[in-house]
Amino acid sequence: MFGVGVIVACGFVVAVYLGSPHDYQHSQGDEDGEMFLGRWWEPAWIMFVAGVGYVSWIVGVGLGTFVRLIVSPARSSEAAP
């Protein structure tokens, strides 16, 4: 599941990169961006957002695993006569 989170984060970065304008003139006045790898975008901000998303993914996977571990023994003890 951790690898799937990395793939989703990388896909997000690639999608933002491909959706960004080719130069400042087509950026609709976005002054915060910079020309990077042939596109006008903010790679540091996008990496930060992808990192926050990945950390949220990890926390969700951890909480789901924790809940499953807590609930499973409770269910198995209720099912036994």
Residue 44: its pLDDT value, please?
A: 86
Predicted pLDDT of residue 50: 93
Comparison of pLDDT for 58 and 34, the residue scoring more: 58
Is residue 28's pLDDT more than 80?
no
Rounded Cα distance between 49 and 5, Å, is 13
At residue 4, what are phi and psi to the nearest 5 degrees? -65, -40
Mean pLDDT of 2-8: 89
Q: What pTM was computed for the model?
A: 0.70
